[in-house]
Structure 1
Amino acid sequence: MTMATAKRPEKPSAVPKNLIPSSSPAFGTPVHPINPRRTAPIPAPPALKPAVRATVLPIELPPATLRPLAFRTFTKKHNLTLTSSALSALASFIGKHCGSGWREEGLAEKVLEEVAKSWKKSGSQVIVEGDGDTLKSILKTLEGSMSGGRIVNGSNLSRQSSFNFGPDANGQGTPEPGVRPALDSQTSFGMSSLGVDDKDDEEESLKDPREWMKVIDTFEQPKLVYNISQRHFEKSNVKSSLFPDPSHKTDLFRQRYHTVHQRILRNETFQTPTFSTARSAGLSRTGSIANSQTNTLTPIANLLGRSGSAHLLLGMLTVSPTGALSLSDLTGTIALDLQHACPIPENGAYFAPGMIVLVDGSYEEDYSNPTSGSTSTLGGTGGIGGTIGGKFIGFSVGHPPCERRTTTLGGTEESDRNSLSGPAFGWTDFLGVGSERATGSRMNRLANKLLTAEKAHNVVIASDLHLDKPSTLSALRTLLRTYSPDPTDSHPIYPLAIILMGNFSSKASLAGVPGAGSIEYKEHFDALATVLADFPQLIAHTNLVFVPGDNDAWPSAFSAGAATPLPRKAVPTLFTNRVRRAIAEANREVWGAGKARGKEGEVIWTSNPSRLTWFGVKGEMAILRDDFMGRLHRTSIRFNKPEADPDDDDEQLPDATSAPQNNEESQDAAMDLDAPSTLAPAVPPEPQDSIDTDTQTARALTRTLLSQSHLSPFPLSIRPLHWDYAHTLNLYPLPTSVVVADSEAPAFVVKYCGCTVMNPGAIDGSGGRARGEGRARWVEFDVRSGVGVVRSEG
């Protein structure tokens, strides 16, 4: 290799103007070097000059002075709660870096805004702690991005991953050296972790309401636990498992008790007014607490030494090892004597072991029988947590008062006017679709834009789709034909979704029953695919959702049709390939090349139970296939009817008018069958004798489920549950609608406390009045108005 033959000058004073290249053909090295030694330093480009930071004179800012501004930014705007330690840390930081201009120039407000956004981005709890590492990391990163009391534009706030405070791949809050941060960590600073991006182009591209509908599988639903010390729900840091620790069994019932207990304490009838200390422990005859009464709950452990006194207890009905009925709470267990008790309301609800109820009565201590050391259902053992000696004589038994969805989450103008008296958990994301406070206003705007009043936006629900029966396939054809468009209609209306629920076999499949093996089970779904293929226009414009039952694979292989543990997974793909191909073929036929494309039809095989949401938190439907009525009839408590006093016959009033009605009592009057009531709230409800048996059953089932806030309020021996997934059966907050596919209950639609409860019954009308070849029965629910109706065609 040749080198330049020219010699470097020892002390060059200047670079010649005309550089003569060397004769080296390989490199073309010039005679003189490119950067000779200079006597003066090279001036730096203007862009690389170090910025001169403005000096700020630190001040001592008292936390009390900063409190109003911090409250307005954190609490009212971002729904966060500041502790005293966090407020002190923010006051010290703002006083040091913003100086005397923190108020006049608005410097403190911008800093608080960035800190609140980064705290929400980190996925932390709603209470901002000053002693933790999260706030310290936020302030440390923010300190390097401030100049003259202001946050410098173009700093690492929006482009670096330093504000991604969650654990990274290396398990720490900062990325590994040399590793480029992930794309999601480079999003703008302060965006909510809900994943909802408020962009106009996204709203314009999603014009079909089906784009905003989502089916949430049980095993994908987040698990929230109630923190009794901080009084809010927080995500569980323990991964759910089908083989959990035995302690999770007790925690299942404790979480149910905490949910109901905190709900009751917020009820106005359980809040003692400051001007009165009187307590009334009675339940009104309509099943709710009268407004004029103030009730106080007594823990069971506090009954000791208070024999002969009246109390109001909240606990779970249990059966002791001796067979006696008992009541358990977190402090202990007491034997119940309900010989003279009256259910509230009479014939209007079910009371069975496993339910959390309110019992009003008197305690009688048994001095001859000391306190035993048996174990409480909710986890206590011996002494406090054990069985209390004596018995509790109940006078009345009632369910806890129900709480409306707007009270829990908000969403109305009245609840948003004053955040201090607004919703209880408006900032909590229960299903992973966003919270009401973060996304509610945008989702309401989208719903009002897409769910127009000119056309219906229905969800069709049918159950007991026994594919091994020809009558079921004939009824399914009738249902699909009802919603198939007329070829002459230029603007056809399709349902948003069609929910088909099991059992998909009248016999326990794969359990050794003749004619119910794996081959026959797959052939049943092949027959279903043949029926669906005859309606390509319908299935290409709607979503099909399939929910299994107890007779469906795989659990039926070992349960032989008995109640399997809930929740249970979807029907395996092995048996449903033909149905999927039928949907795909219909989409190719309808949405082929050269045609205007839209939202294609989709088939979703989901779990039992599952959730259907539309427009985030705008609407929610809880779906469960289970036989409630048979289980309630086998386990419910039978109360003795009180003897009528002949002297008071002329003075007795009807049950509906015996007590003044409050808001919840007027909802009892509005419980209706198949359609919303047109009666004014002032009109008293119908007497019990004038209501048919099916209507009474529907109303009692509705009141029981919604008051318990749970889809399976039974002991594990009556209805098995997977311990770590029992939270997916919660009905708190109250959904917009609940589908209870019960083959033993009549088909009904009842609305109670703003929640529509529906039971479609068997699709072919078996066990009901809609018998006949080709006769079909289902429920049609309008997501815009929240109104459901039982339909029958054929």
Structure 2
Amino acid sequence: MADRILRKKISSSFKLHGFTLRADSCTYLVEQFEPLDEGEFELWLEKLIDHIQNQRLSTNVVELKAVELAVRDCASEQQQAGEDVFCVISAFDVPRFNFNPDIKKYEPAPKKEHSLFDNADAKAQLFRDRFSLIKQLTERHPLFKPSADDSQEKFKIYPIEHLLSSARKLTKIITMGLFSQLKVGMFHLEDPTGIIQLDLSETSYHVGLHAENCIVLAEGWYEDKIFHAKAIGFPPAETADVSRAYLGSLNMFGGDSRMANKSNKALQKTLRENKDRIMVFLSDLWLDQDKVLRKLQVLFEGLSSYPPIAFIFMGNFLSTKPESNQAEQLKFHLRSLADLISSYPNLLKFSKFVFVPGLADPACPNILPRPPLPKAVTEDFELRVSNAIFTTNPCRIRYCTQEIIVMREDIMSKLCRNTVHYPTTGNIYEHFAKTLLSQANLCPLPLSVRPIYWSFAHAMQIHPAPDLIVVGDTLSTFKTSHAECQVANPGSFAKNNFMFVAYCPGTKQVDESEITD
């Protein structure tokens, strides 16, 4: 294609979309598009303009820097479609974003070194970020979002400072805050504007496990500095589709791409072509027990003719209590697992083996996020099993356009123990899923119950909601869903009749499975 014609076509296409190209930007694109034929040129130009539209440009004049960034994004997207369809994201690599209330958009947080032992400001910021996220999700829900349609009843959330500043009785009030117990037996509600004491003597509770540290909506009346709660419930959970309508193509899940992968047509095609392949999730894989290895051999034997995308193994990987030689024991038993995997060439070649550590595995404290197993323990295994990935707890997995969050923690057990009101009706698993999705957080518990590194609390967020959350709890195996997000628990493989969960990303089907005698 002639240089002059190519330049004119590029410039015209940008003008049709409301952009003006600088001369150096147009010259750069001519150099990039010159080797392409007519069909490829049209396709790539359309992709490029889509990426430019998703950038936050201050004017309609497109600078060279923005064009170069869009070209890199297009190239990266193509490479991912061809190679990187399976990606494991460490909790320490999850991107951090700040909400800008002026433009009502999320922006990448300034890059800085975060320490595992940050100062006290990081702890305060943890709660501010959680409240800010849930507040904006709630305010854009149809029940709380103002509109010109008067036919539907709307609700208003009052900040706590509004209640504290009133000298008269207020009725039919809805407020939102952090559910906390500042004194034994005395509950309070906190938001960034103040703290108010709660009277829970006549309170009814909606669906969910209402533990301390959860952010709740309280409905009732206020008098004499006490809020008398008639009802307490969780903020409404937001589906991923609604979230992405506000977020656009912003990638908040993590990974190399700046753009979210949901709309990547090449990855969607790859997913359709592999619609029958599955992922296998096992928890409490005690490698020091012979029966566990025998059952694992049965599983490998059954799947070897059609290898899964990945086996996700969650700890703890030893049945014994932590001892001084725990690391050496685990290293030895990982060698036995490598021997077993090596006897199935198909699995060795085509399946990934992802290891998510339990909190009793060596050699880290009982704090989330938990780093991967030490290199000294895993190096022999990695030499023999090239597709092994040792990652953090929790971690994130992206397969094509599917987003999965994995965490090994007895979180449901702890929520049940710490809830202020244990549900007497409904399915407990549905209460659990509602709690996680409404809180947009994997671990909405007091830090004294479930310690978290303050600077990496954003890795526990669930926003936008993924396709699947897998929680390795020692309770029995279950699957449920809420807000179009599936929640599953494989249960303890060693203690729960060798149960596991199989997930088919192509059809979004979750199956509870068991290896019988």
After TM superposition, the score normalised by the length of structure 2 is: 0.84
Q: Deviations over 1:278-312 (max 9, x none)?
A: 9xxxxxxxxxxxxx431110001101324242210
Larger radius of gyration: 1
Map of 1:704 onto structure 2: 435
- Matches of 1:761 and 1:233 in 2, distance apart? 36
Q: Is 1:739 paired with 2:470?
A: yes
Indicate whether 1:358 and 2:358 are aligned: no
**Amino acid of the structure 2 residue aligned with 1:447:** Q
> Which amino acid in the other structure matches residue 787 of structure 1?
Q
Q: Counterparts of 2:212 and 2:312 in 1: how far apart (Å)?
A: 32
Give the distance between the partners of 1:189 and 1:242, measured in 2 at CA: 35
Q: Distance in 1 between matches of 2:223 and 2:81?
A: 68
Match of 1:216 in 2: 89
1:638 equivalent in structure 2:
421
Which has the larger share of strand? 2
Runs of at least 4 residues off by over 6 Å: 117-121
Question: Distance between the aligned counterparts of 2:195 and 2:187, measured in 1?
Answer: 10
1:662-695 deviation line (CA, Å, top 9, x unaligned): xxxxxxxxxxxxxxxxxxxxxxxxxx5xx7xxxx
| Alpha-carbon distance between aligned partners in 1 of 2:394 and 2:173, rounded to the nearest angstrom | 38
Q: Specify which of 182, 188, 191 is matched with residue 70 of structure 2.
A: 191
Asked if 2 retains the 8 angstrom alpha-carbon contact of 1:549 and 1:608, the reply is yes
Partners of 1:435 and 1:325 in 2: CA distance: 43
Partner secondary structure for residue 254 of structure 1: helix
Q: Secondary structure at the match of 2:188?
A: strand
CA displacement at 1:752 relative to structure 2: 2.0
1:392 has 2:227 as partner? yes
SS in 1 for 2:211: coil
Give how far 1:445 is off.
4.1
CA contact (8 A) 2:502 2:513 kept: yes
Aligned with 2:376 (options 544, 560, 574): 574
Query: Relative to structure 1, is the Cα distance of residues 732 and 478 closer, same or farther in structure 2, using a 3 angstrom cutoff?
Result: same
What is the match of residue 757 of structure 1?
A: 487
Q: Distance in 1 between matches of 2:190 and 2:81?
A: 54
The answer to whether residue 290 in structure 2 is matched with residue 470 in structure 1 is: yes
CA deviations over 1:636-664 (Å, ceiling 9, x no partner): 103799xxxxxxxxxxxxxxxxxxxxxxx
Distance 1:234 1:324, change over 3 A: same
Give the AA of the match of 1:760. P
User: Are residues 197 and 523 of structure 1, via their aligned partners in 2, closer, same or farther at CA, if it must alter by over 3 Å?
Assistant: closer
SS at match of 1:424: helix
Q: Which residue of 96, 102, 105 corresponds with 1:229?
A: 102
Other-structure match for 2:32: none
Give the Cα–Cα distance (whole angstroms) in 2 for the partners of residues 782 and 457 of structure 1. Answer: 6
What does residue 515 of structure 2 align with?
A: 793
CA–CA distance in 2 between the matches of 1:578 and 1:328? 50
AA in 1 matched with 2:86: M
Q: Structure 2: how far apart are the matches of 1:325 and 1:508?
A: 37
CA distance in 2, matches of 1:778, 1:535: 20
Q: What residue identity is the alignment partner of 1:571?
A: L
Q: Is 1:626 paired with 2:488?
A: no
Deviation at 1:539, TM superposition (A): 2.1
State the shift of 1:506 in Å. 2.2
Tell me: CA distance 1:581–1:427, structure 2 relative to 1, closer, same or farther (3 Å).
Answer: closer
- Counterparts of 2:329 and 2:143, CA distance in 1: 58
Shift of 1:70: 8.8
2:393 maps to which of 588, 608, 630:
608
Cα distance between partner residues in 2 of 1:623 and 1:275: 41
What is the aligned partner in structure 2 of residue 287 from structure 1? none
Distance 1:777 1:361, change over 3 A: same
2:209–2:422 Cα contact (<8 Å) kept: no
2:154 to 281, 294, 316: 294
Gaps of 5+ in 1: 1-68, 75-89, 95-113, 143-162, 166-187, 279-291, 366-389, 410-422, 486-492, 585-601, 642-687, 771-775
Deviation at 1:614, TM superposition (A): 1.8
Say which SS state the counterpart of residue 513 (structure 2) adopts: strand
Amino acid at match of 1:325: F
- Which position in structure 1 is the counterpart of 2:18? 73
Distance 2:384 2:341 in 1: 7
What secondary structure is seen at the aligned counterpart in 1 of 2:480? Answer: strand
Map of 1:551 onto structure 2: 360
SS of residue matched to 1:396: strand
Cα drift, residue 526 of structure 1: 2.2
Paired-residue identity, %: 26
Give yes or no for contact 2:416–2:422 (8 Å, CA) kept in 1: no
Structure 1 residues 393 and 192: alpha-carbon distance in aligned structure 2, compared to 1, 3 A threshold: farther
> Which residue, out of 267, 273, 278, partners 1:452?
273
Which of residues 238, 241, 259 is equivalent to 1:403?
A: 238
Q: How far has the Cα of 1:226 moved from its partner?
A: 1.6
1:43 corresponds to which residue?
none
Q: How far apart, in 2, do the equivalents of 1:583 and 1:520 lie?
A: 19
The answer for the alignment partner of 2:176 in structure 1 is 314
Distance in 1 (CA, whole Å) between partners of 2:513 and 2:350 is 21
Match of 1:259 in 2: 133
1:427 equivalent in structure 2: 249
Which letter does structure 1 place at the counterpart of 2:276?
A
3-state SS of 2:134 partner: helix
Aligned to 1:501: 314
- Asked if the contact 2:209–2:423 (Cα under 8 Å) also holds between the matched residues in 1, the reply is no
1:116-195, aligned counterparts within 5 Å?
127-129=56-58, 163-164=64-65, 189=68, 191-192=70-71, 194=73
Aligned to 1:784: 506
- Note the C-alpha offset of 1:340: 0.9
Give the Cα–Cα distance (whole angstroms) in 2 for the partners of residues 224 and 395 of structure 1: 36
CA distance in 2, matches of 1:533, 1:339: 62
- Give per-residue Cα distances to partners, 1:516-557, cap 9 Å, x unaligned: 5333232222222232233232222100000001111111xx
Contact 1:529–1:582 (Cα < 8 Å) also in 2: yes
The Cα shift of 1:363 comes to 0.6
What SS does the aligned partner of 2:196 have?
A: strand
Higher RCO structure, 1 or 2 (CA under 8 Å, sep 6+): 2
Per-residue deviation, residues 86-144 of structure 1 (Å, max 9, x unmatched): xxxx89x99xxxxxxxxxxxxxxxxxxx9xx89978xx9955446xxxx9xx78xx6xx
> Structure 2 matches for 1:98-109, cutoff 5 A?
none
Taking a change above 3 Å as real, the CA distance of residues 300 and 499 of structure 1, as seen in their structure-2 partners, is same
**Aligned equivalents of 2:512, 2:265: Cα separation in 1:** 28
- What whole-Å deviation, never above 9, does each CA across 1:233-257 have from its counterpart, x for those lacking one? 1111142222323211111111111
Name the SS for the 2:385 alignment partner: helix
Give the alignment's TM-score, normalised by structure 1.
0.56
Instruction: Say whether the 8 Å CA contact 1:118–1:190 is kept in structure 2.
Output: no
Alignment of 1:12-51 (within 5 A): none
Q: Does 1:532 align with 2:354?
A: no
Considering fraction of residues, name the structure with more helix. 2
Alpha-carbon distance in structure 1 between the residues aligned to 2:384 and 2:227 = 62
In the alignment of these two chains, the number of paired residues is 477
Amino acid at match of 2:320: K
CA distance in 2, matches of 1:725, 1:500: 23
Give the counterpart letter for 1:73 in structure 2: G
Cα RMSD after superposing both structures: 3.1
Cα gap change, 1:746/1:309 in structure 2, threshold over 3 Å: closer, same or farther?
same
Measure how far apart 1:439 and its partner are.
5.4
Contact in 1 for aligned 2:85/2:267 (Cα 8 Å): no
Task: Tell me the secondary structure at the aligned position of residue 229 of structure 1.
Answer: coil
